[in-house]
Amino acid sequence: MPASEDSHRWQALVLVCVAFFMTVLDVSIVTVALPSITRALHFSPTSLQWVLTAYAITFGGFLLLGGRAGDILGRRLMFMVGLAIFVAASLTCGLASGPGILIGARAVQGFGAAIISPATLAIITTTFNEGPERNKALGIWGAMGGAGAAAGVLFGGILTRYLGWEWIFFVNVPVGALVLAATPFRVHESRAALESRRFDLVGATSVTGGVALLVYAISRAPAIGWGSAQTIGLVIGSLVVLGFFVAWESWVKAPLMPLSIFKTGMVSAANGVSLLLGATVFGNFFLLTLYVQDVLGFSALRTGLTFLATAGTTVIVAGIAQAATSRVGPRPVMAAGMALLVGGMVWYAQIPVRGRFLPNLLGGYLLVGVGLALAFVSVSIAALTGIGPKVAGLASGLINTSQQVGGALGVAVTGSVAVSRANSLLASGHASAFALTHGYALGFWVIAGVALVGLILAITTVKPATSAGAEPLILETS
């Protein structure tokens, strides 16, 4: 392979990783800016959650559609379309003059992210041959994803403190524009070699609606009650729609999601672990941010700086994770990562009312950073092992969907548990700091249980060695 072509592949990796980093970053970067946004745009307490929920619903809901659209229409094309939408929506978010505009723009931003994320993985899959080279590329991609989740809190604190909440959105504009301008010159176009390029509109509509409804139900449950008729109705409705989607896909001739993909490689096992990993990581960041600010009284900036320990550790360990996965396969690396996350959650469950960063938190930050890198990289590699270019976008959309749905579930469940426990202690006459601390501690115990289930799933369902036999690489260049 000519040196220039090899160089272009790694430059393409940089571009897609930067874009992916932005989409993950925007899940958590908003969290520490919410108080400033509330004051500036006069949000009510009930509508403020929609700044987070609107992004989560469209991001999670459109991932499968975005991934399959890349297979059919072209991964580079859809990557650029998604990036253009994301940049435009980010600019609109920063310029928003009221709650409605910001919430609407966040929904559009999530839609753009749902197109970008699976396209990045599909581009990597069709650009790098399966094996150590692809694993190295996925290790870099995984480092960006894992670090992005933690770095969002860090960057959100810095930007909000020194430039204003608008800049958590404005920062995407120049970075995204540069990536968009460079993409045609560094990223090859690729499409799946499909017998039919008909688009499964019924499948696309039903899976998007079903996943979006499920994410909405999970996100709203803490506010309206898990046992409320509305929550139960929404969950049942989402399951009915998703059930229809599965039935339709088993019958239609050119399905959006061929069900046979779940028999390929380690797709089913990797997505199961990915769901629990998403719940663990996002639930952890949610509770930890609240504890550090509400109980310890840290500012937004100081809160963000504490997460540098996790983000930095994740980036450093990601290279080790991909090398280890290439050598021994994904199962032991994934299991080690989930075990460390269990340890991190148990560490956090010991948080005191008058906690300090070094003795009470730093150990947990480091455990989570190492565990996140090991688990995120190995899960991503496992999910794409044995996957050929015909379903690269679909497999990428699946792994991203499982992470987003898991993240929404983790935040909703842990938040609900923590609030219920805190309210019960407050009603018993305990001080606010005591009640909040014990509520958050119980939430961490719940996440520890979720991570433990993920560990068991990794050990029992993931194949002991990397599968071979991927479909031949079909790459169309333009």
The string of pLDDT tens digits covering residues 26-83 is 877 887 788 788 889 988 766 777 888 788 888 888 888 888 888 888 999 999 999 9
Residue 232 has a CB neighbour count (10 Å cut-off) of 14
**Residue 116 confidence (pLDDT):** 95
Residue 194 pLDDT greater than 70, yes or no: no
**Residue 6 confidence (pLDDT):** 61
Q: What's the 3-state SS for the chain?
A: CCHHHHHHHHHHHHHHHHHHHHHHHHHHCCHHHHHHHHHHHCCCHHHHCHHHHHHHHHHHHCHHHHHHHHHHHCHHHHHHHHHHHHHHHHHHHHHCCCHHHHHHHHHHHHHHHHHHHHHHHHHHHHHCCCCHHHHHHHHHHHHHHHHHHHHHHHHHHHHHHHCCCCHHHHCHHHHHHHHHHHHHHHCCCCCCCCCCCCCCHHHHHHHHHHHHHHHHHHHHHHHHCCCCHHHHHHHHHHHHHHHHHHHHHHHCCCCCCCHHHHHCCCHHHHHHHHHHHHHHHHHHHHHHHHHHHHHCCCCHHHHHHHCHHHHHHHHHHHHHHHHHHHHHCHHHHHHHHHHHHHHHHHHHCCCCCCCCHHHHHHHHHHHHHHHHHHHHHHHHHHHHCCCCHHHHHHHHHHHHHHHHHHHHHHHHHHHHHHHHHHHHHHHCCCCHHHHHHHHHHHHHHHHHHHHHHHHHHHHHHCCCCCCCCCCCCCCCCC
Q: What's the rounded Cα separation, in Å, for the pair 92 and 102?
A: 7
The more confident residue out of 436 and 266 is 436
pTM of the model: 0.84
Core vs surface per residue 118-135: b (16+ CB within 10 A) or e: bbbbbbbbbbbebeeebb
Maximum mean pLDDT: which of 283-292, 383-392, 403-412: 283-292
The CB-based long-range contact list for 92-95 (8 Å cut-off, 24+ gap) reads 93/169, 94/166, 94/167, 94/169, 94/170, 94/173, 95/166
The more confident residue out of 346 and 149 is 346
To the nearest whole percent, how much of the chain has pLDDT over 90?
Answer: 46
- For residues 310, 314, 316, 320, the Cα torsion angle rounded to the nearest 10 degrees is 140
**Residue 367 confidence (pLDDT):** 97
Q: Are 159 and 35 a contacting pair, CB within 8 Å?
A: no
Average pLDDT on 390-411 reads 83
Indicate the burial class of 463 (C-beta count within 10 angstroms; 0-12, 13-18, 19 or more): middle
Residue 453 pLDDT greater than 80, yes or no: yes
Distance of CA 181 to the CA centre of its chain: 25
Radius of gyration of the chain (CA): 21
Q: Which domains does the chain have, with CATH numbers?
A: 3-183+258-461 (1.20.1250.20), 201-257 (no CATH)
Residue 300 pLDDT greater than 80, yes or no: no
Q: Are 369 and 312 a contacting pair, CB within 8 Å?
A: yes
The string of pLDDT tens digits covering residues 78-124 is 999 999 999 999 999 999 999 999 999 999 999 999 999 999 988 99
Q: What's the rounded Cα separation, in Å, for the pair 117 and 94?
A: 22
Residue 263 pLDDT greater than 80, yes or no: no
